[in-house]
């Protein structure tokens, strides 16, 4: 299939690009590099020994999108492009609505104009909000608690309406849990250009000596050791879920949401311990107050994806930490290490 990947230079996009190229699909990547480096694309091209089209453009730019659709004629889209920092989304919500919601509408308009009717969307477990029960299944009520989460929720609603607007459109909403880790080559990985917001990149930067210690946000949660518990998923497993989802949109019509997680949780201290074992480095940490907006625990019920996408996570927390360390130690300054 000819597949357009928006945000393909980013963390999850670059890993998915690699897996999609491995399936011999033809690919065009569109990215504005606002949170990524073109080096990631060069490395994927080398690793896969394959060519793909690259377009440096913004998904809000309707003219650029129309050109891409006219030239490349995608048969399906995987839509990663967007902004993802929860804290920033509260400070500049309009920017988030513009990139995430308006960007998706522009993309759907270009798809309609060219007759492309299949899309896989990067949603997030954050659409569920405070758990009413755990593990979350796809029928859990959605009540996102911050502007970023609401952009994901609103885009899901827009995509549902679009899916129902005719009998050709096909939409898959992938609700990612906590993606971590890196490709086994150690050549691509997560490369935040600021202080990392998320646990795993912060821990790996402490291990490599870029930061002095981790602050654990709260140790009085109702979890086995009092620290926050999350369903971490290896980014390569997540990338494989996109391969399955592309296959699914090609064969099905309408809209479906799927949780993409392992169904198992790890606490902050368990992650620290696993990372120490993987890296052979000590991770100094201290306990601080809870982070505003955090929940105690988040775990996926991934049964629907297993049944309908025939997809299942294969990697352990040990694999996630070892691959993160391989990437971080080989590229201490991310793509700027080149």
Structure tokens at 13: 């996009």
Please identify, using beta-carbon distances, which residue of 33 and 287 lies nearer to ligand UD1.
287
H or E element, residue 167: none
CB 182 within 8 A of CB 323: yes
The strand pair at 232-234 and 53-56 is best described as unpaired
Rounded-to-integer distance, Cα 92 and Cα 336, Å: 27
Per CB under 6 A, does 36 bind ligand NAD? Answer: yes
Per CB under 6 A, does 32 bind ligand NAD? Answer: yes
- Of ligand UD1, ligand NAD, none, which one does residue 201 interact with (CB within 5 to 8 Å by kind)? none
Question: Which residues, numbered 83-112, are part of the site for ligand UD1 (CB under 6 A)?
Answer: 86
The strand pair at 254-260 and 170-176 is best described as parallel
Q: Which of 54, 101, 217, 330 binds ligand UD1 (CB under 6 A)?
A: 217
Per CB under 6 A, does 13 bind ligand UD1? Answer: no
Q: What angle do CA 131, 133, 134 make, to 5 degrees?
A: 90
Q: Which of 61, 98, 137, 294 binds ligand UD1 (CB under 6 A)?
A: 294
Stretch that binds ligand UD1, among 45-53, 272-280, 291-299, 310-318 (CB under 6 A): 291-299
Please identify, using beta-carbon distances, which residue of 7 and 149 lies nearer to ligand UD1.
149
Per CB under 6 A, does 199 bind ligand UD1? Answer: yes
Rounded-to-integer distance, Cα 333 and Cα 184, Å: 18
Please identify, using beta-carbon distances, which residue of 32 and 124 lies nearer to ligand UD1.
124
Inter-CA distances, 96 with 13, 93, 338, Å: 19, 5, 31
Per CB under 6 A, does 306 bind ligand UD1? Answer: no
Is 335 annotated in the active site?
no
Active site residues: 148
């Amino acid at each position: 299939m000819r597949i357009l990947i928006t945000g393909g230079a980013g963390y999850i996009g670059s890993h998915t690009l690699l897996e999609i190229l491995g399936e011999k699909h033809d690919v065009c990547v569109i990215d504005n590099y606002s949170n990524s480096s073109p080096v990631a694309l060069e490395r994927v091209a080398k690793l896969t020994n394959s060519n793909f089209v690259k377009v440096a453009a913004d998904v809000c730019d309707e003219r650029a999108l129309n050109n891409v659709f006219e030239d490349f004629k995608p048969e399906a889209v995987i839509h990663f492009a967007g902004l993802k920092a929860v804290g920033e989304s509260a400070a500049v919500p309009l920017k988030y609505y513009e990139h995430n919601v308006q960007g998706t509408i522009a993309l759907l308009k270009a798809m309609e104009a060219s007759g492309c009717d299949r899309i896989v969307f990067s949603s997030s477990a954050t659409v569920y909000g405070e758990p009413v029960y755990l593990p979350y299944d796809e029928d859990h009520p959605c009540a996102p608690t911050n502007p970023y989460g609401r952009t994901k929720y609103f885009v899901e609603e827009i995509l549902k309406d679009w899916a129902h607007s005719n009998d050709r459109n096909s939409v898959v909403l992938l609700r990612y849990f906590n993606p971590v880790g890196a490709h086994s080559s150690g050549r691509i990985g997560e490369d935040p250009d600021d202080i990392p917001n998320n646990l795993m990149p912060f821990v790996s930067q402490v291990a490599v000596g870029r930061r002095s210690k981790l602050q654990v946000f709260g140790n009085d949660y109702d979890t086995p050791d009092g620290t926050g518990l999350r369903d971490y998923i290896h980014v390569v497993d997540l990338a494989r879920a996109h391969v399955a989802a592309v296959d699914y949109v090609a064969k099905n019509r309408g809209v479906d949401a799927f949780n993409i997680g392992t169904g198992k949780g790890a606490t902050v201290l368990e992650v620290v311990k696993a990372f120490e074992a993987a890296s052979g480095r000590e991770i100094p940490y201290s306990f601080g107050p809870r982070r505003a907006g955090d929940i105690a625990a988040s775990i996926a019920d991934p049964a629907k994806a297993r049944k309908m996408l025939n997809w299942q996570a294969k990697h352990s927390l040990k694999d996630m930490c070892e691959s993160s360390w391989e990437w971080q130690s080989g590229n201490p300054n991310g793509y700027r290490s080149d």
